[in-house]
Structure formats: C-alpha cells, structure tokens
Structure 1
Amino acid sequence: MNIIKKRNVFFILSALVIVFGLIYGLSTGLNYGLDFTGGTLMQIDLGKTVSVEEIRKITDTFDTKASIIHAGTDKKEIIVKSTLDLDNQERNEVFTKFKEEYGLKDDALVRSEKFGPSIGSEIQKKAWLSIIIATLGMLIYISFRFEVKFGLAAIIALIHDTLVVLAVYAIFNIPLDSSFVAAILTIVGYSINDTIVVFDRIRENLKLMKKEKYEDIVNISIKQTIKRTINTSFTTLLAIVTLYILGVDAIKDFAFPLIVGILVGTYSSIFIASPIWYLLKTKLKEKNNTNMNRA
C-alpha cells in the first residue's frame, strides 16, 4: 500500500472522528468527573459484598451518573462519588437509605466529604499542565535525537491521538477524572514509542537510499516496521482487554480509553505521523523530487 499517496484518506478519516466527537461533546457537555468539577464522596461499610447494580437502585435516586467503587480487602465497603454538591443534610439522607436497606449502624459511614469547585479547578489546571509539559519534553527530545521536522510531526500525531481519545470520552459519556489524565499520559508515551520506531527507520533509510524519493523511503520504512508495531500493540492489547473484561467499573473506565488509545497510537504512528513528516519535508524544500540535495 502506498500510504503517502493515500494520506488524505487517513487525514479525512481522523478529522471526521475528531470533529464528530468534539461537536457531540460540546452539544451534550463532557462528563466531567469529581476530580475536575468538585462534588461529593461517601464511603460506606455495608458489612457484605453487594453488586454495583443493586447499589445503583439507591444512588440513582439522587444521581444517575454517580460512580461506585468497591473498597476494603473483602470488598464489603463502597465508595460513591457524585459531581453533585450535596450538603451535610443531603448526604445524611443518602446514608439513611443505605441504613434502612442493609440494617446499618451510624458508624458504617466511614467517610463523607464534599469537594469545592476550587479544588476541582486546581486539579484540572495541574492535569492539563502535566500533559503540556510531557508533550514539550517529547518535542525537545525528538528534535534533539532526530530533527525539528520529526519532532513537529510526532507532536501533531500526539495531538491527534489526544483529540481522538477525547472524542471517544465524549461519544461514550465516560467521566473525565484523574484516570483520564493517567490514560492520556500512558497513551502519549505508548504512541511516541511507536512513532520513534518508524522515524528511526526513516532516518536510517535516508542515509542508505540517497537517490530515492521521500515518498518511497517513507513507504519502505513503514513496510519494514509495521509487523513489529502491530505485534507489540497486539500483545499489549491482550493484557488491557483482559483487564477490561475482568475489572470493576473504575478499572473499565481506565482500560477502555487505553484500548482505544493503543489502537489510535498504532494507527497514527503509521498513517498520520509519517505522512505529516513527509509533508513538512517536501513542502518546506524548494526542490524535493529526489533525495539528492538534502540539507
């Protein structure tokens, strides 16, 4: 397959997913989690293991989007997180429903806290700052190891991956919380690794194939690395898919974006990053039909 010739197809496909996801997210509103918006957290000792579906019969009466996590070594405790700003009386009313349903005592309420929006805003700023710092660090590293055009192409591909994952969060209404930041940073690290493998092969072939066109060099380099990239991604996906299937809801909210991110990262390193480098390399050179006059 001539990936460079068909690059516009891949660019359009990615653009459609990103635009649809972002428009959908803006129209319906992103599902910001407790870490970003502030809200309420309650930890209750039920004295036995209760399924999430059964617990939701109670939590749905005050917040249908509340997240539920099992806690404790024997999973007899639950942590309920809600983006609603429940005062002390409202939290007591919620706990009363659990007391009546499971015959609990007052000390069963292990923890009951309210997080103000100022805390959520601070976490949000630090989350985006960490992503920006990581991205800039990668740009400097790749530019130093390869060249600036490789660095710019890699960063554009990373932005592409981040926007696609954000679109998936919007489309599937997945809560944006601290696990979102962890997922994005993991995806960025994984994606840049795949991209560097392809770029390293392109750099080697630039030296070995000095009379070949850039288009041919990129296509050959991708062909030489694609098997390794797919095999690596497949083995990683096996572990994460297993985690998603067997994990609790909180793990699934983290694992699902990772699955999407690894697929997108593998896709972008082949079909986005390399074509973008080709465009940067050819558009910024006056004569570039061949590799004869490289700077």
Structure 2
Amino acid sequence: MFELIKTGTKFDFIGKSRIYFTVSLVLCFLGLVLIFAKGFNYGVDFSGGTSVQVTFEKPVDIDKMRTTLSQDVGASVSIQTLGSDNSFRIKVDQGSGDENLKKISDTISNTLKAKFSEGGNVTIDSVEQVGPQVGKDLKRQALLAVLYAVIGILIYVAIRFELMSATSSIIALIHDIILTLGVVIALNVTFDLTVLAALLTVVGYSLNDKIVIFDRIRERARMDEHIPLMESMNISINETLSRTILTSTSTLLAVISLAIFGGEVIKGFAIVMIAGIIIGTYSSIGIASSLVYAIKTRKGKK
C-alpha cells in the first residue's frame, strides 16, 4: 500500500496548537470582517430577479450566450441547462415590476435571435419574476439547512465518541464555514443554491476527516493507556496523516478539473469545494484534535 507519509513519523501537531489557534483566529476575524463589511454577491435565487426559460432547435455555446446576454441586459446572468442541450433557464439579477420584466424578456429574445442564429429558431417558454420575498425565504431556509446539519453532526459525534469530541468538531466546522465563506466573498463568487450545496458538501467532507482522526485517537487511547495524552494524540494524527493528505489530494484533483473544464455554471461550486477541502483538511489535523486535547487537559486539571 502506497504511503505518502512513512510509518513512524513524529510530527508534534498538538505541541504547535497555539500556532494553529492564532492563525485560525486571525483568519476567522478577517473572514467575519468580509462577511459583515462587504457581504455576499447573492445570485437571483437569493436576491430576486427574472427567470426566462428558452429552447433552441440546435445546440449553442452556453458560455458565449452568458457573456453576450450579460453585456446586452446590463446585469449579472446565470444559465442552467434543462434536460436537453438545447433548453436553458436564464436568470437575470434584476427585474422588478411588469415593465422591467417585459423589457428583460424582449432584450433576451432579441439578442438570442440576432446573435445565436446557429441555434435555429428560439422559443421563449416562460418568463417569471423571483420577488425579494422569495429570496428572503431562501436565505432563511439556507441558514436553517446549515443549522440543522450542525445540530445533526453534534448529536452524531456525541453518540459515537463523546461530548468533548462533538464540541471540538462543531467549533472546527464553524471555523471551516467562516473561512470558506471568506474565500467566497474575497473571490466575488456568486452565492446561489449551487454554492450552498457545495458548502454543505464541504461540511460533510470535513466532518468525515475529523471522524477518522478521532476514531484513531480513541483506538490508541485504549491500546496504550500508559502513554501521555499528548504523545498518544500525536501518534494517532501521524498514523492517519498519509490517508488524510492522499484522500484530500485525490478529491482536490477532481474538483480542480471541474473548475477548469466545467464552465461557469459549475465554477462557483468547484471554488467552494477547493477552498473547503483545503481548509477542512487543515482544521482536521491542526484544530479539531488540538481542541480535544485542550478540553481534556483543562477538564483533567479541574
């Protein structure tokens, strides 16, 4: 079996916990500043706007269509393929009121007919307005989705391991979410349902990494009760280090391919996954385990 990190390595991860905590606190502070000072670049799903469904007779270049429509409409445009390669849902990040709705619909129709003749006849199947209230409801539901995920994780880890491991996992996952959202804002990624899905995926992926390490820590504690806690935890992290890095790297390669070749539709998802995997791997090795150690030693002193 291939091992990136050879058996017997003795990196002192727990001993450097203060460095990890300091770096993470600074990064979380910067992430929170971005979240509250700059805010998210919400897509039409959350901010409201206009949704137009169109169908061509023949395939067209979706990236070219997105760029052209953004220029002609004068607003952010996202496009999703529906069923066949010739049917699309075009979402425009503006359009309040019947007049704007008709104006945007006419602009899209005229642009597609004039500049995408290679697609044959184009049919406007439907025109809908996504109101601000719908966007607010989706924001609330998105927040609840993350909250329910965190609560479920807390219960699961507490049952499988112990409460202090669950607490450490939740703190580390909140750390992962804040830093990932900071990257989303810093790179001006449009926050839509795709990005939300990626964020929830990152939470699950990061948790899986932490569970593997916690499981090894528990096994090691049972096998070598005479070994000091710090040494036992360091051995456990070192034993899982090769697996953690190889798994994260292989997943990263797949997601990077999505970012490069997947086009604009999937780019936001890929960026969030890339950031989340890197941050989650770091927090699994440096933050979650160090938090468990800090809580256990503090509890022991009491």
User: Shorter-chain TM-score: which interval?
Assistant: 0.7 to 0.9
Inter-partner Cα distance in structure 2 for 1:102 and 1:244? 26
Hey, what does 1:142 align to over in structure 2? 157
Inter-partner Cα distance in structure 2 for 1:22 and 1:94? 39
TM-score, length basis structure 2: 0.86
* 3-state SS of 2:52 partner: strand
Q: Which amino acid aligns with 1:98?
A: L
Mark the CA change 1:93 to 1:22 in structure 2 (over 3 Å): closer, same or farther.
Answer: farther
Q: CA deviation at 1:51?
A: 4.8
Q: CA deviation at 1:70?
A: 4.3
Q: CA deviation at 1:170?
A: 0.5
Of 218, 221, 228, the residue aligned with 1:206 is 221
* 3-state SS of 1:85 partner: coil
Aligned residues: 286
Hey, what does 1:94 align to over in structure 2? 107
Hey, what does 1:79 align to over in structure 2? 89
Inter-partner Cα distance in structure 2 for 1:102 and 1:198? 54
Gaps of 5+ in 1: 288-295
Hey, what does 1:162 align to over in structure 2? 177
Hey, what does 2:8 align to over in structure 1? none
TM-score, length basis structure 1: 0.88
Hey, what does 1:56 align to over in structure 2? 67
Question: Is 1:124 the counterpart of 2:139 in the alignment?
Answer: yes
Mark the CA change 1:212 to 1:267 in structure 2 (over 3 Å): closer, same or farther.
Answer: same
Inter-partner Cα distance in structure 1 for 2:256 and 2:200? 19
CA contact (8 A) 2:17 2:286 kept: yes
Q: Which amino acid aligns with 2:95?
A: D
Question: Is 1:65 the counterpart of 2:76 in the alignment?
Answer: yes
Q: Which amino acid aligns with 1:91?
A: I
Q: CA deviation at 1:260?
A: 1.5
Q: Which amino acid aligns with 1:56?
A: T
Hey, what does 1:292 align to over in structure 2? none
How much is the aligned-residue C-alpha RMSD, in angstroms?
2.3
Once the two structures are aligned, what percentage of the paired residues are identical?
35
Q: CA deviation at 1:155?
A: 0.8
Inter-partner Cα distance in structure 1 for 2:272 and 2:203? 12
Gaps of 5+ in 2: 1-10
CA contact (8 A) 2:62 2:79 kept: no
1:80-101 C-alpha deviation (Å, 9 max, x unpaired): 2122134332223322333333
